[in-house]
A = this chain, B = another copy of it.
Amino acid sequence: MTPNLDTLMMIPGPTEVPSRILRALSRPMIGHRSFEYIALQKDCEARLKQVFRTENPVLIYTASGTGGMEAAVTNTISPGDKIIVANGGKFGERWGELGRVYGAEVDEIVYEWGHPVNPDDIAARLDERVKAVLVTLNETSAGVTSDLEAVSRVVREHQALLIVDAISAMGAIPCDTDAWGLDVVVAGSQKAFMLPPGLAFVSVSERAWAACKQSKAPRYYFDFGEMRTAAEKGQTAFTPNVSMMFALQEALNMLFEEGLDNVIARHARLAAAARAAVRALGFELMPQPGAESNTVTAIEQGRLEDPDAMRKHLAGKYGVLLSGGQSEYKNRMFRIGHMGAVTEREILTTIACLEAALSDVGYACERGAGVRAALEALA
């Protein structure tokens, strides 16, 4: 047995939470209608808007990211509305499920895992009947980032709303909300924001507000209108997780100290190193070339017989936690999350320990090849 140290969290959320943020999380409670709280929320919202690159409100829900996705659907789409869903994995699939639960007519474009959204597919299906197009900027399950700017060019030729799950992207992968004309963008706390799970952030364009006023889907806890009215006073419609707001403020402090562009560049650099390393160890990536995510690297099992057993060994002996495959790819792939509080140190640690674990389970590859490739990519 090894000492029972804290595990290094290299999964696509929840991520490592830096001690600065953990300390903010444990500040003594304050009232959620106090002046101190109002100043806190206003500061957080103002800086979230900069992260989202939007002038529109960003609503802060006490819920996980899926709650934000539900808010996006119920506030803009009415039963019977036609929507287009791009489904390239577990989270794209969720858009379709939400649409169907709330009575939408769902035109679902299903992609093989690893393939990004093709704007031409959406263009071919768009017509004036389509109320909204729902896409995933970064499909966590398949490690795929789609070209959202290209998608937006296609959608913006029509009246349809463009609704984006940016949960595992926001802050780490470019998402230019206003410039690309994105109507509703959903983000979550436990990804590039380096926070625990528990907050969802949702930006809402003027077009989406107009749709909200028309929408007949039922909603209460997630209602945009109640939240917007409260947000104008620096509050939320229902009691917020005040501790998470303390932590969000500290996370934003860290992101702005580093610089938002630098954070994005860091994720790109570290992701390139991770990709180079696993390729040097003889693996292939699940994403099509050019669609590789900068927040999560999805790796096909290749010659590795039992990816879940390898991951269990890696976590147990070396204290490094990776993710496995989901749904049809269960135990057919593994994933390295590298979002949020991740530096060269965490990437090199992960690759070195991965090499050790691969060796332990009898996977044949040149010792040190992964770390060498990572170092070369970082040089």
Contact = CB atoms under 8 A, between A and B. Distances in A.
B196 A241 contact: yes
Main secondary structure of the interface of A (DSSP, over half): loop
Interface in A3-51: 6-7, 9, 11, 13-17, 22-23, 25-32, 34
Contacts of A65: 238-239
Contact of A238 (B26, B30, B64): B64
Interface stretch (A94-102, A116-124, A128-136, A251-259): A94-102
A155 B166 CA distance: 46
A274 interface: no
Interface stretch (A157-165, A171-179, A216-224, A289-297): A216-224
> How big is chain A's contact interface, by range?
35 or more
A13 B64 contact: no
Contacts of A137: none
Contact of A14 (B13, B31, B219, B221): B31
A240 interface: yes
Nearest to A73: B220
A25 B246 CA distance: 12
Contacts of A34: 7, 321
A67 interface: yes
Given A66-B221, A98-B220, A197-B242, A9 B26 contact: no
A300 to B, nearest CB: 21
Contacts of A16: 28-29
Given A14-B31, A32-B14, A97-B220, A64 B239 contact: yes
Interface string A193-207: 000111000000000
A25 B17 CA distance: 12
21 contacts: A7-B30, A9-B30, A14-B31, A25-B243, A26-B26, A62-B64, A62-B197, A62-B198, A63-B63, A63-B221, A64-B221, A64-B239, A64-B241, A66-B238, A67-B221, A101-B220, A196-B244, A198-B240, A218-B218, A221-B222, A243-B243
Given A62-B62, A67-B67, A241-B241, 9 more contacts: A14-B31, A14-B242, A16-B29, A65-B239, A66-B221, A70-B220, A97-B220, A101-B218, A217-B218
Interface of A: 6-7, 9, 11, 13-17, 22-23, 25-32, 34, 62-67, 70, 97-98, 101-103, 188, 190, 196-198, 217-222, 238-244, 321
